[in-house]
Amino acid sequence: MNAVSAPGDQWLTVTRPDAVALCLSAQYTPTLAELMLRESTVTELAARLHLALNAAHHRVRRLVEAGLVCQTRTTPRRGRPLRHYRAVSGPS
């Protein structure tokens, strides 16, 4: 079962209890809200939300697992490419 569904890309329905808990969590709501506004890397999120990098990474990973956030693209660079994320319910 999907965590989210968006018929006609108008409304988002969250059905999984773990995804609902993340939406209502005071720790995860700022991260989700930021990703609803714009695409970001974990490093950019950490800087904007004044979080430790490992805390931002953990939150993004949990939101991805819950189906609330998706990886949108990668940017090549030396070493590992940068991953960009966005909330599945964010504005176009």
> Residue length, the chain?
92
- The 3-state DSSP composition of the chain as helix, strand, coil percent (nearest 5) reads 45, 20, 35
DSSP SS3 for 89: coil
Which pLDDT belongs to residue 90? 46
Contact between 49 and 42 under an 8 Å Cβ cutoff? The reply is: no
Higher pLDDT, 2 or 37: 37
Query: Tell me: the pLDDT tens digits for 56-92?
Result: 999 999 999 999 999 999 999 999 999 999 998 644 4
Which CATH number is 27-92 given? 1.10.10.10
Q: Where are the domains of the chain?
A: 27-92
Non-local (6+) Cβ contacts of 5 within 8 A are 12, 13, 15
